[in-house]
Structure 1
Amino acid sequence: MKLQHLSLILVLILFSGTARAATLWDKFNDEVETLYQQGDYKGAAVAAKKALQAAEQGLEPGHPDIATSLNSLAMIHSAQGHYKEAEPLLKRAQAIFEKSLGTESPEVAATLNNLAMLYRNKGDYAEAESLYKRALAIDEKAFGEEHPNVAASLNNLAQLYQAEGQYPQSEPLLKRAVTILEKTGGPYHPNLAVSLNNLALLYNAQKQYAKAEPLYKRVFAITKRAFGPNHPNVALSLNNLGGLYKDQGKYPHAEPLFRRALLISEETLGPDHPNVATSLENLAQLYREIGYSHKAEPLAKRAAAIRAATR
């Protein structure tokens, strides 16, 4: 069963640049954020490239706004599963921020978080852990221990430990992140849904289904309220809730959730995105378990083709 984590990605909301009159760069950044929140990653990538071009044409090569645009474009590539394109952009952004703002700036911490996520997705856990821990230390020093940026770093480090099966190390980090986000953002903030989702995944992996289910349902409600019913993050929450039901043999509950998650992912991310492959794999596995091999096989083949194309 493929369950899906959510990462707290700060780049689209953290960097607002220095105080000044609105510029073309600001206009493109606003467009990037709007399209990204809508799940229109292709449109967001176009706007992010325009923002980067505007920054590079109007600013000195080492200006922080250029790093901000590099960071934004990189994370949109990552959301589309284009990790090879994202990594050099993040490394360039990191170098600019370290030189222009200092090695312990919040902007460096956010970039480290985003770069670590790439390494985690590629299975390079040792490199990812080092970057996550460095980001957490910077954020705690810069903001104190109860800031949303600290919660983001805690969440992301916890995800890494979950991927490695280190559940005792992960749980307290996630609980601390949830407490911070409830206190600072309230009960309906989308960032809270991220940590709740990952805490639910932790319980799911340990077969603590009674703890996981209410968290998954809360994630779905928050995400739908924040982004609307047809956003990729809504698809992730449906996929995970469906996985919980499938693991308990509640197949009639799981199938419609998997099918809806697949439809949303196809419509918002395109037919060849890794999240589409995940939904296809989950639906195929469900059909195998209930004896519908003829339905499972074409789904599994399509998922395998997507995975092969994105390696």
Structure 2
Amino acid sequence: MIPTEIIRVLQRIDIGSLSVRKTVSRELSQLDEKTLLTLPEIVERALGVDHPELAKALHRLAVLYHSRDNMEKAEFLYRRALDTAERAFSEPNMEWGLMMNNFGRALYDQKKFTEAEVIYKQAINLLRLAIGPKHRKLATPLSNLGNLYRDQNQWELAESMYQSSIVIMVEALGPLHPRVVRAREKLAAVKLRNPGISSWPHL
């Protein structure tokens, strides 16, 4: 039997933004570490090793540790979640794509740029197949990949990713949304750093 209090809390973790709200953090703090870490085994015994809910539970637990900057546990759980997802999901879906993107972010946060690039690209491909090329959820992994290229001084690639992300966000949120404004600021900063700026139009 899966403890209902753990399920209730994990379901409220925002896998789309790697955030754990204060109320959720407070509830999680009341659960002991051993209980949290045994959750995957509890779910596995209840539902089986190839069940989609196991992949989702592992994903949310990974996001929890990621939000706490416990990268060793987060990376381990992301890898388990993705391994389970490959067996559990019969076709691409948004959960799987977001899982891949969050794992890429965990690698990026540890400066494992080579693997992070591969994972981000896989996340983008998964999400395109699952939800289409213009869905707003694609904006984040595109921007994340842009950040990775920016940090490696690959200005043209960073600019391309940011542009693609902005196009999606403008369509979904409108040109004046704060996320769009921040994205344009990042794009402008990349263009200023690029040696070929003289050939680019003013933003």
TM over 0.5: yes
- Where does 1:48-87 land on structure 2 (aligned, <5 Å)? none
Superposed displacement of residue 230, structure 1 = 0.6
Contact persistence 2:20–2:64 (CA under 8 A): no
Measure the CA separation in 1 of the matches of 2:162 and 2:27.
30
Superposed displacement of residue 191, structure 1 = 2.5
Query: Which of 9, 17, 21 matches 1:112?
Result: 9
| Aligned residues: CA RMSD | 3.6
Contact persistence 1:112–1:135 (CA under 8 A): no
Q: Helix, strand or coil: the match of 2:58?
A: helix
Alignment TM-score, normalising by the size of structure 1: 0.51
Alignment TM-score, normalising by the size of structure 2: 0.75
Q: Paired residue for 2:200?
A: none
Q: Closer, same or farther in 2 for the Cα pair 1:123/1:112, shift >3 Å? A: closer
Contact persistence 2:101–2:120 (CA under 8 A): yes
Q: Paired residue for 2:52?
A: 148
Contact persistence 2:18–2:67 (CA under 8 A): no
Q: Paired residue for 1:159?
A: 63
* Superimposed CA distance per residue, residues 186-229 of structure 1 (whole angstroms, 9 cap, x where no aligned partner): 46343322222122111111221111111111111111111111
Superposed displacement of residue 269, structure 1 = 2.8
Q: Closer, same or farther in 2 for the Cα pair 1:146/1:127, shift >3 Å? A: farther
Contact persistence 1:151–1:177 (CA under 8 A): yes
Q: Paired residue for 1:282?
A: 186
Superposed displacement of residue 155, structure 1 = 1.2
Query: Which of 128, 137, 143 matches 1:233?
Result: 137
Measure the CA separation in 2 of the matches of 1:255 and 1:152.
33
Measure the CA separation in 1 of the matches of 2:4 and 2:184.
41
Superposed displacement of residue 139, structure 1 = 4.1
Superposed displacement of residue 176, structure 1 = 0.5
Measure the CA separation in 1 of the matches of 2:24 and 2:190.
30
Q: Helix, strand or coil: the match of 2:111?
A: coil
In the alignment, residue 80 of structure 2 is paired with which amino acid?
A: R
* Superimposed CA distance per residue, residues 248-305 of structure 1 (whole angstroms, 9 cap, x where no aligned partner): 100111112112211211211334656435523532442454488xxxxxx9xxxxxx
Measure the CA separation in 2 of the matches of 1:238 and 1:188.
18
Superposed displacement of residue 145, structure 1 = 4.7
In the alignment, residue 113 of structure 1 is paired with which amino acid?
A: L
Which piece of structure 1 moves more, 156-165 or 136-145? 136-145
Q: Which has the higher contact order (CA 8 A, sep 6+)?
A: 1
In the alignment, residue 191 of structure 1 is paired with which amino acid?
A: E
Contact persistence 1:194–1:219 (CA under 8 A): yes
Runs of at least 5 residues in structure 1 that lack an aligned partner in the other structure: 1-102, 293-298, 300-311
Q: Paired residue for 1:3?
A: none
Q: Paired residue for 1:190?
A: 94
Q: Helix, strand or coil: the match of 1:115?
A: coil
- Where does 1:122-133 land on structure 2 (aligned, <5 Å)? 122=21, 126-127=25-26, 129-130=28-29, 133=36
Q: Helix, strand or coil: the match of 1:254?
A: helix
In the alignment, residue 127 of structure 1 is paired with which amino acid?
A: R
Superposed displacement of residue 126, structure 1 = 3.5
Contact persistence 1:116–1:129 (CA under 8 A): no
In the alignment, residue 251 of structure 1 is paired with which amino acid?
A: W
Does 2:163 align with 1:255?
A: no
Measure the CA separation in 1 of the matches of 2:71 and 2:110.
8
Q: What is the identity percentage for the equivalent residue pairs of Structure 1 and Structure 2? A: 29
Q: Paired residue for 1:217?
A: 121
Measure the CA separation in 1 of the matches of 2:27 and 2:98.
19
In the alignment, residue 190 of structure 1 is paired with which amino acid?
A: M
Contact persistence 1:105–1:142 (CA under 8 A): no
What is the number of equivalent residue pairs in this alignment? 190
Runs of at least 5 residues in structure 2 that lack an aligned partner in the other structure: 198-202
Q: Paired residue for 1:26?
A: none
Larger Rg: 1
